[in-house]
Amino acid sequence: MNKIKALYTNEIIKILHRPSVFIVAVFTLVLAFAFPFLMRIVFIGDYSEVFEIYTKEKFEEDLAGYKTELKNANLKTTKETVEIEVKGQAKSYEMTLYTGNDIPRILSFTNCYEDIISKYDFEKYPMRQTWISLDALRRYRSAEQDLINMQTVPFEERDAEWLSTFEKETASRDYFRRSLFEHDYEYYCKGLETNAVENDYNDPRFTPGIIRQVAASDPKGELGYMEVNYLMQYLVEKNENQELLDSGLERSGTLPRILTEERKNILANSNKILDYKFAKRNTFSEESAICITVNHYTSQVAQYGIIVLLILIAGSSVSQELATGSIKSLIIAPVKRWKIYTAKLLSVITFMLLASVLVSIIAIIGTGIAFGFDKLPPYLYVSGGAVKEMPYFFARILIDLVQNISVFFYAFVAFMISCFTKNTGVSVGVSVGLLLCHQVPALIGMSEMPPRILDFTPLSNMDIVNKVFPYIKLMVYDAESISMFIGEGSALPLWHCIVYTAVLTFTVLFIAYEQFTRKDIQ
């Protein structure tokens, strides 16, 4: 054991003295620290100013601009009595026809802003980025534009169907107006129920049922715009999960799959977490969503540095010494080769773990300084039927370790190849190529290969983040930003993925051991 320890220490020292390793390591750590600042400056800017605060003075300023536009729009208003047959009876209606350039947009803003300036109570209901004020304003103005747009239709083309739609849209506009002026969710829901023109393209968040559940949590209409969007998204996800549980099926690619008991348990626990997040709404914010997304980006970018670093260390572990002949001094010493092999392998494993953990810590520190450590939300999971919180710091380190499993495996492949050749470039190049190309079958198979075939590829079985951390996508509002970096993995159980990866790894290391212990050193 003492000899292995001495050999291990010697290997660590040799690795640390390699200039190439030092340069790649420093570059990776600097990148992990600096990338969050770059993301904030270039892509995000000051995320605290997402929405403009509307005041009476702001409305008056904007109204002046729209009135100027209206003067240049060549607006022409024509009023006429139009007869329309409704249920077999001809009735007369006083109607208006608008003509001009971009009239629906300009006139809708003008009408709404004049109404708000003259009648809205800014002292009682200040428009300070609350969801009900901003979205009711959007709906009110949009409904007004739809009405004006309908009134650009020539008189002779207006019929009973046009009239019915116009009356429904008028009622909808009035409900949205009242929702804005009184900060009342119920009038907003009535506006949705009577709305005759589709504005949200069947967005499941904007349904009366979802809105009323939010209203129960925000009776005074005080929650912020993004905060309510989170709450609505939680409710939508919960409904979708429940639909899957009720049907017992979920779609994977083009084929449905029967839900396993494990998957059913995950969906049920996900709903518990969504309920928990709904109740703890003040814990989650737009800043948290941005912060964690940036940290995921940072980890993914830094992973490329880890790939180069680990494969460089593993790929040159034996081949470089074979090329220089320095390994002969170890071989002729009274030390068994398996001990030399073990020391080299342990040194590679040490740097694997050290690189992953250290880069994760630096990335968290960089993200925390750039956006605020309080913006990093905990990882939520269910244990004993109750929702628990894991601090983001520890969760991120563990997530990155699991996500780097494929990197670790191909570093072992580089180590194996280095036992066969004196050319470090071959071992490093082949291993990097295999790592970058092992996703090709999955990319091709997304549309052409049955899911069951993909379940047995190395990529699917090494991508187990979703199995070890099944609720990771619940950490943010926009799950798609996380899905870019975390695949679905194999549909087979976690134990299968672990055994599959373990067998592959053992095979690679056994081949390396056989070659190293039996190779004639020239």
pLDDT tens, position by position, 410-447: 888 888 888 877 666 777 777 767 666 655 554 444 44
Give the burial class of 157: count Cβ atoms within 10 A of its Cβ; 0-12 exposed, 13-18 middle, 19 or more buried.
Answer: exposed
The answer to whether the CB of 431 falls within 8 A of the CB of 328 is: no
3-state secondary structure of 168: helix
Residue type, 395: A
For 370-415, the pLDDT digits (tens) are 888 888 888 999 999 899 999 999 999 999 999 899 889 888 888 8
Better-predicted residue by pLDDT, 422 or 267: 267
| Structure confidence at residue 466 (pLDDT) | 84
List, in sequence order, the alpha helices (H) in 372-404.
392-403
Lowest-confidence region among 70-84, 359-373, 445-459: 445-459
DSSP calls for 292-327? HHHHHHHHHHHHHHHHHHHHHHHHTTTHHHHHHSTT
Query: How many CB atoms sit inside 10 A of residue 57's CB?
Result: 10
Per-residue pLDDT averaged across 241-269, rounded?
83
Question: Which among 475, 401, 462, 473 is positioned nearest to 434, based on CA atoms?
Answer: 462
| Residue at token pair 């109607």 | 95
Confidence of residue 115 (pLDDT cuts 50, 70, 90): very high
| Structure confidence at residue 486 (pLDDT) | 54
Q: Which two tokens stand for residue 198?
A: 């589709």
For 185-241, the pLDDT digits (tens) are 999 999 999 876 655 546 888 889 999 999 998 888 888 887 888 889 889 999 999
183: pLDDT strictly greater than 80: yes
Residue type, 300: Q
Our separate counts of H helices and E strands in the chain read: 23, 6
Cα atoms in the Cβ-side hemisphere of radius 13 Å centred on 458: 18
| Structure confidence at residue 296 (pLDDT) | 87
Which helix (H) or strand (E) segment is 492 a member of? none
161: pLDDT strictly greater than 70: yes
Helix axes 131-150, 225-247, angle to 10 degrees: 80
The ranges assigned to domains in the chain are 2-49+279-518, 56-126+130-223
Q: Which two tokens stand for residue 269?
A: 């626990």
- Quick one: what percent of the chain has pLDDT higher than 70? 81
Per-residue pLDDT averaged across 455-482, rounded?
73
Residues 415 and 516: their CA atoms lie apart, in Å, by 11
Residues 108 and 142: their CA atoms lie apart, in Å, by 8
Q: How far separated are the first and last CA of the chain, in Å rounded?
A: 28
Give the burial class of 316: count Cβ atoms within 10 A of its Cβ; 0-12 exposed, 13-18 middle, 19 or more buried.
Answer: buried
